[in-house]
Structure formats: C-alpha cells, structure tokens
Structure 1
Amino acid sequence: MVPDTKDIFSFSSWYGDFTNVTFESRIIELSEDFLNYLNQDGIFIPPELGQPAENANENEGNGFSSDEDDEVERYEWVPEFRLAMNTALAELGGQVIPKLNWSAPKDASWILPNRQCKCTSVADVLMLLKASTFIAFDVVKLSQKTSAIRTKPELVLRKWFDINPGWEFRCFVKGNSLIGITQRYCTTYYPHIAQDPERLKIQIKEFFARKICGRFPAGDFVFDVVIQNSATSGVVLVDFNPFDRITDAILFTWDELLSVDSVADDELLRFVNSYLSIQPDEMRQYQIPADISDSRFTTHGQDLFGYLDNEIVKQTDSKN
C-alpha cells in the first residue's frame, strides 16, 4: 500500500542512503505502456520475453498463448525492458526477487514452480507481477494523476538469498524510538527465538541505534530486518513501511502502537512462544479462486465453505 503523505517509502527514495545495510538491488524505471500492460486482464507474457522454463513446452491450461496463428499484440517497451532486465539479472547473480515502488508480489508466489518469489528469467518476473493483487494496488497508485508531483514507476530487482523466515523481524518506530519488535512470520514456532530472545532484542536495538535512527526522513515508520549472524553487521535491512494501519502489526495491534510513545524493555519483543500459538498463513487466501473466496458465492443459500462442511458431516454420518 502507498501512504497519502510525502512518498518517502518508495524504494528508490531510501535505497541510496542504506545500500551498505541492505540487499544489493537494481532499479528499472517503467514506462506508461508497461503500467498499461500490467493493468491488462490475464497473465500474458510477450513472446519475445519467453516463458517460465517449467511452462515452455506446455500450451494448455497455463494462461499463456503461444499459437503462432493467434494475433499477438506487440509492445514497444519490450526491447528496452528486456535489455535492462537481462543486465540486472546478470549483475545480481541470476536470481532475484522483484517488487514495484512499495510492494513485493508475495501473494503470487504460488504461481511459480518453486512456490517462492525467486525469479531466474524475465518471464518469471512478469508472471509474478501480473498475478499479484499487491502489485495491482501499486499500479493503481502509480497510474493516478491527481498529484502535481507523481511518483516515478519503478521495478526493483533484489538479489535473492535463501533466508530462514524465522530470522525475520518487523520493528516499529515512533518519535525515533523503537517501541516494538515482532516475529515477521507467525505461521511457525521457531525454538531459536524462545531460547535467547534477549540476545535477538539487543542485536536489533543496536542495529537500529547505529544504522537507522536519525537517518530515515521520518520519526514514525516501520522497518523489516533479517538476522544472518550474531554480530550487529549480521542484521540486514529489508524494507521500510508507513507507521500506519495499512502496515501489518502482526503480533501487536495498532491501537497499542498508536497509544504509546515508549515501552518497557521486557515488553519490546513479541514472538510465537509455542506450537499452540502459531497463526494461519494469510497468504493462502490468494491461492483460492476469487469466485470461491468471495463471501457472496453461495450454494443452496450457504457460503461455499459452510456448504462443504455440512456435506462432510453428512458423508461421515452416512458411513457410521
């Protein structure tokens, strides 16, 4: 999502000041024509840009059109985009994770064979962008012309690293004070967090004090980090987000965060402390077809999931 205030959260606005503490990235400016392409319905990859390797020989049921007899629209942005993409891919080691100005297509990872956002080709990147609801929100904002100063659309390619999600954390800053740290992904219990939460908390606090505090052009913001080793230099900045309800508070609530200016040190870090406390994966809702997940979809007067639950009960009863 995009804040309505001054856009300091767009990737290129902060990347230059934090290149030494974040993942290597490349920024590609996007044309109006490319935004229009992203806005088009369906997942269509221009033939000149290839197809994801797993789908190269499959022409049915994959959302692609490769019939040479079909009338294929030609896009003027393709040659320049392909050159910029291939150059960036080569410079970043051939594996990247894409995002637009604000959002990454995490909700569309299911569409790639690896079920991750790891891309090794131009076609992989386009598949993720076209399939993502998160990216669609960015495109809408980037296409708006209501402001005198319009944010330049950009595609960001970040160098891919295999990261254990148990080492990712979200941090909340208010008035340039760190008021909350939460485990980033709560679908799993990670014993290493519970074993030494104090060390993790100290490590993140030191990173904030040395590398972030006073350098970001706002006093209220949210930042994400991943811890790669036990040193302060082992903390890597992932992203910045608005200190606002549009950002997921995870194990905090926004009522809590907005009502305090500081917190006791023993209340700073929150994490899933047992297998019984894990939470459902919110990304799974994006893997369900829209007509099914839509609450207006009904069967015999019931929503679909209620109907299926009743059918399961009936079948169980009949077997007994």
Structure 2
Amino acid sequence: MTLPASELEIHETAAPGGDDSVVNVAGRSPTQLAIARFRADRLSMISFVLTVLIIVCAIAAPILVAVGVLHPNDFNQDLLSDDGVTPSGKFGGVSWSHPFGVDPGAGRDLLSRLMLAITSSLTIALTGTIITVIIGAVLGIVAGFSGGFVDAVVGRIIDLTLSFPQTMMLLALAGPVVQMLRGDVSKVPGLGFLSGPDLSNGLFVIVILAAFGWPPVARVVRGQVLSIREREFIEAARLFGASRSRLYFKEVLPNVWAPVLVYVTLLVPAYISAEAAFNFLGVGIKPPTPTLGNILAESVSYTSADPTYFFLPGILLALIVVVFNLVGDGARDALDPKSHR
C-alpha cells in the first residue's frame, strides 16, 4: 500500500561501504498526523498557548490568595471618590498597586477578583463538561451498540430532555434544588463547612448544565458507534468471549474519542457563557465570591460611571470563549482533515 507523501517520514542515510544512499520510509500514526496538522495551524497554536495560560491562572489564583499575594475581598474605601462609589483616579483607579483598578462601591482589587473569577467559572464549566461527556458518551455507546429496544428508549429520553425549555426549568428548579443540595452536603461527614450558598448554587448550575447538555453528545457518539459495531475487530472480540463492558469501554470507546475531544473543547466555552447568563437571571454563585458572570452582571450598573469595570470582565470573558472555541476548531480540523471551518 502506498501512503501519501504528507503521511510519510523520509530519511536519507548513507549505505555502509558505499556512496549510494538508502531511503527509509516510516509511516506516522493518526495521532501523530493530527498533532502535526494542529501544530501547523498558527491560529490554533496561539489559542492553545492562551488556553494553557488561562488554565494556569485559574490554578494559581487560589494559591496566590492563600499566601497573601492577591486580596480579592479587601475593602479600600480610601481608593473611592467623595461619593463613596466611583473609584478615584483615571480608568477605574488604575495604579501600580491595582493594575486593573478597583471595583466601585468597595474598592476591591479588580485584578485579584478577575483571576479568582476565572477559577470559579472554569471549575463550573469543566465539571459540567466532564459530567456531560460521561453521561452522553456512556448512553451513546450503550444505545448505538445495543440497538433495538435499548436504542429506542435512549432515543426517547433524548427527545424528552430536549423538549424541556432550559431557561424556564432553570428558574423553576432554582429554589428547591439549591435547598436540597445544601441539605445533602451538610449531612456528608467532614463536608459541613462546604454547605454554604456558594457551593449549593454552583452545584445547581453544574446539575442544570449536565442535565440538559448531554443529549447532543449522546447523539454524536451513537452515530459513531453504529458504524464501529460492524467492524472486524468487534466481531473478533465477540468470538474471543469479550464481555459487554469490555466491548463498550475497551473496544468501542477508544475509537470515538476524537469527536468527544472536540465536543469537550466546544462545551467548555459554551458553559462559561451559560454561567455568565445564569447570573443575569439571578441564578448562580453570588458575590462576594467572584465569577466572570456575577462580576459582569454587577458591572452593568456602573456602565457610565466606571466603563473600565464593565469592559474589562466583558473582554476577558469574550477572550476565554474565543480561544477555547478556536482550540476546538483546530482540534476538529486536525482530527478530520476533510472538515472545513
């Protein structure tokens, strides 16, 4: 079989005892080809580097708060103007001590709050994405591989889930679900200190995101499994007596990781945006714990008095969503060269 030139590594070496050269041709695995295509896309690589920096920032922020480098909740009334609301100085009180200025009404360092907000928002988005992908991948594999009655039942569950209006269910379930989560957490030994409103509201957002986000993942995975289940290696595994769980998670799952990976990179920015939207509806983590959503929702009240406080979290939120989406687009193009942006 002749491989395309783009999928070959050609090395020219000297033959022992002669002047003629020997050409060694080595094929590359699909993973190596995908990585090479991704690295060749300059925009995707820039977005990937920015994504890594954002994740590092999210990990470092709580540590910097713990060691006293960042002070997201320290009030500085002396940094406010005579009205006690608007920060004194230009651009929201920008200075060497406060590079992004301070927030109106409290004088808290905006850089510290934005860094900690990235941690909160990414934690919610990544946790919701992981739960969404696990539920969607498992149900998609079971439905696509089993077929028949099981496939029909999972399909109806997907249709039923998609029929619910997410926003209305979010508002309707906010009160009772948050109270239930708060009570359940308080009963877990050793976790009573976590039973505050921040945890219960955050868990509620994650539950809503996962409960309404898994059907598209299940449909994509099911479509992949329908073609994979007829392959020769599946028949061979059956002949060797492989159990159903081994067929699901050892034979089928590794062959559907590519679309799942792409979905992960696209769900994270979608969930970050959803968390911000939930705060505008009055649902989600409330101040003083910062998230990108509640900072942006609070900044709307100061659009004219302090434009810096409005634009900085908005630009940061847009930047995070864009770079994650570009990484997802790059991963999709790398894993499927026939796809188009």
Mark yes or no: TM-score above 0.5.
no
TM-score bracket for the superposition, by shorter chain length? under 0.3
**TM-score with structure 2 length normalisation?**
0.23
Bigger-Rg structure (1/2): 2
Which of structures 1 and 2 has the larger relative contact order (alpha carbons within 8 angstroms, sep 6+)?
Answer: 2
**Structure 1 or 2: larger strand share?**
1
Using the size of structure 1 for normalisation, the TM-score is 0.24
User: Whose helix fraction is larger, Structure 1's or Structure 2's?
Assistant: 2
